[in-house]
Amino acid sequence: MISVLIVEDDPMVAKINEHYLSQLDGFRCIGVAKNSHEAVDFLINYSVDLLLLDIYMPGRNGLELLSSIRKKNESVDIIIISAESGKESIRKALRFGVVDYLIKPFTFERFRDALLKYQKKISLLNAHSQLSQDELDQLLHPPVNKRTSPKPLPKGLTRETLQRVVHHIIQRKKEPFTTEALAKDVGISRISMRKYLSFLLDIGYLHLELEYKSNGRPAHLYTLKNLKALSPYLEAAD
Protein backbone atom coordinates (compact mmCIF):
# COMPACT_ATOMS: atom_id res chain seq x y z
CA MET A 1 0.00 0.00 0.00
CA ILE A 2 1.40 3.40 -1.02
CA SER A 3 0.92 6.02 1.72
CA VAL A 4 0.09 9.51 0.43
CA LEU A 5 0.17 12.93 2.09
CA ILE A 6 -1.85 15.70 0.40
CA VAL A 7 -0.29 19.15 0.87
CA GLU A 8 -2.95 21.66 -0.19
CA ASP A 9 -4.23 24.84 1.49
CA ASP A 10 -7.62 24.86 -0.29
CA PRO A 11 -9.86 22.43 1.66
CA MET A 12 -12.18 21.81 -1.31
CA VAL A 13 -9.30 20.97 -3.64
CA ALA A 14 -7.82 18.73 -0.96
CA LYS A 15 -11.16 16.88 -0.71
CA ILE A 16 -11.26 16.40 -4.49
CA ASN A 17 -7.72 15.01 -4.52
CA GLU A 18 -8.57 12.74 -1.61
CA HIS A 19 -11.73 11.57 -3.40
CA TYR A 20 -9.78 10.87 -6.59
CA LEU A 21 -7.19 8.94 -4.60
CA SER A 22 -9.89 6.80 -3.00
CA GLN A 23 -10.87 5.56 -6.48
CA LEU A 24 -7.46 3.90 -6.98
CA ASP A 25 -6.43 0.56 -5.53
CA GLY A 26 -3.11 0.39 -3.72
CA PHE A 27 -3.10 3.98 -2.42
CA ARG A 28 -4.03 5.31 1.01
CA CYS A 29 -4.32 8.95 2.03
CA ILE A 30 -2.80 9.14 5.51
CA GLY A 31 -3.16 12.88 6.00
CA VAL A 32 -3.77 16.38 4.66
CA ALA A 33 -1.42 19.28 5.42
CA LYS A 34 -2.57 22.87 4.85
CA ASN A 35 0.92 24.34 4.60
CA SER A 36 4.62 23.49 4.50
CA HIS A 37 4.98 23.63 8.28
CA GLU A 38 2.29 20.99 8.78
CA ALA A 39 3.82 18.89 6.00
CA VAL A 40 7.27 18.93 7.65
CA ASP A 41 5.77 17.93 11.01
CA PHE A 42 3.88 15.10 9.33
CA LEU A 43 7.02 13.81 7.58
CA ILE A 44 8.87 13.78 10.88
CA ASN A 45 6.20 11.69 12.63
CA TYR A 46 4.91 9.40 9.89
CA SER A 47 6.23 7.28 7.04
CA VAL A 48 5.11 8.80 3.73
CA ASP A 49 5.77 7.36 0.28
CA LEU A 50 4.28 10.10 -1.88
CA LEU A 51 3.41 13.79 -1.54
CA LEU A 52 0.72 15.41 -3.67
CA LEU A 53 2.12 18.93 -3.36
CA ASP A 54 0.61 22.31 -4.20
CA ILE A 55 2.92 25.26 -4.93
CA TYR A 56 0.85 28.27 -3.89
CA MET A 57 0.47 28.11 -0.10
CA PRO A 58 0.72 30.63 2.75
CA GLY A 59 4.21 30.93 4.20
CA ARG A 60 6.81 28.74 2.52
CA ASN A 61 5.58 27.68 -0.93
CA GLY A 62 5.67 24.18 -2.35
CA LEU A 63 8.88 24.62 -4.32
CA GLU A 64 10.68 25.85 -1.19
CA LEU A 65 9.37 22.82 0.70
CA LEU A 66 10.52 20.58 -2.16
CA SER A 67 14.00 22.10 -2.04
CA SER A 68 14.17 21.59 1.74
CA ILE A 69 13.08 17.96 1.43
CA ARG A 70 15.76 17.23 -1.15
CA LYS A 71 18.49 18.92 0.91
CA LYS A 72 17.57 16.66 3.81
CA ASN A 73 17.60 13.62 1.50
CA GLU A 74 14.09 12.66 2.60
CA SER A 75 13.07 9.42 0.90
CA VAL A 76 9.69 10.61 -0.32
CA ASP A 77 8.43 10.97 -3.89
CA ILE A 78 6.52 14.04 -5.02
CA ILE A 79 3.86 14.86 -7.60
CA ILE A 80 3.18 18.56 -8.05
CA ILE A 81 -0.50 19.53 -8.36
CA SER A 82 -0.73 23.27 -8.92
CA ALA A 83 -2.17 26.10 -11.00
CA GLU A 84 1.42 27.31 -11.51
CA SER A 85 2.31 26.73 -15.17
CA GLY A 86 5.35 28.98 -15.56
CA LYS A 87 8.28 27.28 -17.23
CA GLU A 88 10.77 28.30 -14.53
CA SER A 89 8.68 26.72 -11.77
CA ILE A 90 8.25 23.58 -13.86
CA ARG A 91 11.99 23.42 -14.60
CA LYS A 92 12.81 23.84 -10.91
CA ALA A 93 10.37 21.09 -9.94
CA LEU A 94 11.83 18.74 -12.56
CA ARG A 95 15.38 19.46 -11.35
CA PHE A 96 14.29 18.38 -7.89
CA GLY A 97 13.09 15.09 -9.34
CA VAL A 98 9.30 15.28 -9.10
CA VAL A 99 7.52 12.19 -10.36
CA ASP A 100 4.92 14.18 -12.32
CA TYR A 101 3.45 17.67 -12.63
CA LEU A 102 -0.31 18.24 -12.94
CA ILE A 103 -1.61 21.69 -13.83
CA LYS A 104 -4.98 22.66 -12.35
CA PRO A 105 -7.68 22.13 -13.43
CA PHE A 106 -7.08 18.54 -14.48
CA THR A 107 -9.29 15.52 -15.11
CA PHE A 108 -9.58 12.40 -13.01
CA GLU A 109 -8.06 10.46 -15.91
CA ARG A 110 -4.88 12.57 -15.88
CA PHE A 111 -4.66 12.17 -12.10
CA ARG A 112 -5.19 8.42 -12.41
CA ASP A 113 -2.51 8.07 -15.12
CA ALA A 114 0.06 9.88 -12.97
CA LEU A 115 -0.64 7.72 -9.92
CA LEU A 116 -0.75 4.43 -11.82
CA LYS A 117 2.52 5.15 -13.62
CA TYR A 118 4.10 5.89 -10.26
CA GLN A 119 2.65 2.69 -8.81
CA LYS A 120 4.03 0.65 -11.72
CA LYS A 121 7.49 2.15 -11.22
CA ILE A 122 7.49 1.39 -7.49
CA SER A 123 6.30 -2.18 -8.12
CA LEU A 124 9.11 -2.76 -10.60
CA LEU A 125 11.75 -1.40 -8.23
CA ASN A 126 10.43 -3.44 -5.32
CA ALA A 127 10.31 -6.65 -7.33
CA HIS A 128 14.04 -6.84 -8.09
CA SER A 129 17.25 -6.15 -6.21
CA GLN A 130 18.91 -5.58 -9.60
CA LEU A 131 17.39 -4.51 -12.91
CA SER A 132 18.22 -5.59 -16.41
CA GLN A 133 18.62 -2.98 -19.15
CA ASP A 134 15.19 -3.87 -20.52
CA GLU A 135 13.59 -3.42 -17.10
CA LEU A 136 15.42 -0.14 -16.58
CA ASP A 137 14.29 1.05 -20.01
CA GLN A 138 10.68 0.27 -19.04
CA LEU A 139 11.18 2.38 -15.94
CA LEU A 140 12.89 5.35 -17.56
CA HIS A 141 11.33 5.24 -21.02
CA PRO A 142 7.80 3.84 -20.82
CA PRO A 143 6.16 3.19 -24.20
CA VAL A 144 4.14 6.07 -25.58
CA ASN A 145 0.50 5.16 -26.10
CA LYS A 146 -1.15 6.27 -29.29
CA ARG A 147 -3.97 8.60 -28.43
CA THR A 148 -7.09 9.55 -30.30
CA SER A 149 -9.01 12.81 -30.23
CA PRO A 150 -11.65 13.25 -27.55
CA LYS A 151 -15.22 12.49 -28.55
CA PRO A 152 -17.11 15.57 -29.80
CA LEU A 153 -19.52 17.27 -27.44
CA PRO A 154 -23.11 18.06 -28.39
CA LYS A 155 -23.64 21.36 -30.17
CA GLY A 156 -23.62 24.33 -27.79
CA LEU A 157 -21.42 22.73 -25.12
CA THR A 158 -17.77 23.63 -24.53
CA ARG A 159 -15.11 21.57 -22.79
CA GLU A 160 -14.01 24.52 -20.67
CA THR A 161 -17.49 25.03 -19.20
CA LEU A 162 -18.00 21.27 -18.91
CA GLN A 163 -14.85 21.02 -16.80
CA ARG A 164 -16.15 23.77 -14.51
CA VAL A 165 -19.51 22.01 -14.17
CA VAL A 166 -17.83 18.68 -13.40
CA HIS A 167 -15.48 20.33 -10.88
CA HIS A 168 -18.45 21.62 -8.87
CA ILE A 169 -20.28 18.29 -9.13
CA ILE A 170 -17.25 16.43 -7.75
CA GLN A 171 -17.00 18.90 -4.87
CA ARG A 172 -20.49 17.82 -3.82
CA LYS A 173 -19.43 14.15 -3.80
CA LYS A 174 -22.66 12.10 -3.51
CA GLU A 175 -24.84 14.94 -2.24
CA PRO A 176 -27.92 15.60 -4.42
CA PHE A 177 -28.17 18.97 -6.15
CA THR A 178 -30.60 20.92 -8.30
CA THR A 179 -30.10 22.65 -11.63
CA GLU A 180 -30.55 26.05 -9.99
CA ALA A 181 -27.99 25.42 -7.26
CA LEU A 182 -25.31 24.17 -9.64
CA ALA A 183 -25.96 26.97 -12.15
CA LYS A 184 -25.40 29.52 -9.37
CA ASP A 185 -22.13 27.86 -8.29
CA VAL A 186 -20.75 27.62 -11.83
CA GLY A 187 -21.98 31.06 -12.88
CA ILE A 188 -24.06 30.14 -15.93
CA SER A 189 -27.79 30.37 -16.66
CA ARG A 190 -30.23 27.63 -15.68
CA ILE A 191 -31.04 27.07 -19.36
CA SER A 192 -27.36 26.46 -20.16
CA MET A 193 -26.94 24.27 -17.11
CA ARG A 194 -29.88 22.08 -18.17
CA LYS A 195 -28.04 21.33 -21.43
CA TYR A 196 -24.92 20.19 -19.58
CA LEU A 197 -26.90 18.12 -17.08
CA SER A 198 -28.89 16.49 -19.87
CA PHE A 199 -25.67 15.49 -21.59
CA LEU A 200 -24.19 14.12 -18.34
CA LEU A 201 -27.35 12.10 -17.75
CA ASP A 202 -27.25 10.68 -21.28
CA ILE A 203 -23.70 9.34 -20.89
CA GLY A 204 -24.37 7.87 -17.44
CA TYR A 205 -22.23 10.34 -15.47
CA LEU A 206 -25.20 11.48 -13.35
CA HIS A 207 -28.24 9.88 -11.76
CA LEU A 208 -31.60 11.71 -11.63
CA GLU A 209 -34.33 11.32 -9.04
CA LEU A 210 -37.66 13.15 -8.86
CA GLU A 211 -38.74 14.38 -5.44
CA TYR A 212 -42.44 15.23 -5.33
CA LYS A 213 -43.44 18.18 -3.18
CA SER A 214 -46.79 19.10 -1.65
CA ASN A 215 -47.64 21.35 -4.61
CA GLY A 216 -47.36 18.34 -6.93
CA ARG A 217 -44.41 19.67 -8.91
CA PRO A 218 -41.37 17.34 -8.76
CA ALA A 219 -37.90 18.62 -7.92
CA HIS A 220 -35.12 17.24 -10.12
CA LEU A 221 -32.26 16.02 -7.91
CA TYR A 222 -28.97 14.93 -9.48
CA THR A 223 -26.17 12.85 -7.97
CA LEU A 224 -22.79 11.72 -9.26
CA LYS A 225 -22.99 8.18 -10.66
CA ASN A 226 -19.93 7.24 -12.73
CA LEU A 227 -16.72 9.34 -12.92
CA LYS A 228 -15.27 7.27 -15.77
CA ALA A 229 -18.21 7.94 -18.11
CA LEU A 230 -16.83 11.39 -18.94
CA SER A 231 -13.24 10.48 -19.86
CA PRO A 232 -13.77 10.10 -23.64
CA TYR A 233 -15.13 13.66 -23.81
CA LEU A 234 -12.62 15.58 -21.71
CA GLU A 235 -9.37 13.81 -22.52
CA ALA A 236 -7.89 11.85 -25.40
CA ALA A 237 -8.22 8.13 -24.86
CA ASP A 238 -5.43 5.59 -24.93
Q: Distance (Å, rounded) from C-alpha 91 to C-alpha 1?
A: 30
For the chain, domains (ranges, CATH) are 2-140 (3.40.50.2300), 159-234 (1.10.10.10)
- The more confidently predicted of residues 79 and 227 is 79
Asked whether the predicted pLDDT for residue 238 surpasses 50, the reply is: no
Q: Which DSSP symbol is given to 96? A: T
Which of 29-33, 102-106, 209-213, 217-221 has maximum average pLDDT?
A: 29-33
Q: Amino acid letter at 14?
A: A
Q: Distance (Å, rounded) from C-alpha 174 to C-alpha 198?
A: 18
Query: Do residues 131 and 152 touch, judged by C-beta distance below 8 A?
Result: no
**Angle at which helices 11-22 and 159-171 cross, to 10°:** 90
Q: Which DSSP symbol is given to 143? A: P
Q: Distance (Å, rounded) from C-alpha 168 to C-alpha 182?
A: 7
Query: Do residues 48 and 61 touch, judged by C-beta distance below 8 A?
Result: no
Query: Do residues 65 and 93 touch, judged by C-beta distance below 8 A?
Result: no
Asked whether the predicted pLDDT for residue 87 surpasses 80, the reply is: yes
Output the pTM of the full model: 0.61
Ramachandran assignment for 214, one of left (phi > 0), alpha (psi -120 to 50 degrees), beta (any other): alpha
Q: What percent of the chain has pLDDT over 70?
A: 93
Which of 1-15, 131-145, 206-220 has maximum average pLDDT?
A: 1-15
Region 89-109 average pLDDT: 91
Residue 142's pLDDT band (cuts 50, 70, 90): low
Region 205-218 average pLDDT: 79
Residue 105's pLDDT band (cuts 50, 70, 90): confident
Q: Which pLDDT value is given to residue 237?
A: 43
Q: Which pLDDT value is given to residue 15?
A: 92
Query: Do residues 101 and 80 touch, judged by C-beta distance below 8 A?
Result: yes
Query: Do residues 221 and 178 touch, judged by C-beta distance below 8 A?
Result: yes
Q: What is the mean pLDDT of the chain?
A: 88
pLDDT digits (tens, 9 = 90+) for 181-202: 999 999 999 999 999 999 999 9
Which residues, in sequence order, are CB contacts of 210 under 8 Å at separation 6+? 218, 219, 220, 221
Asked whether the predicted pLDDT for residue 127 surpasses 80, the reply is: no
Query: Do residues 2 and 47 touch, judged by C-beta distance below 8 A?
Result: no
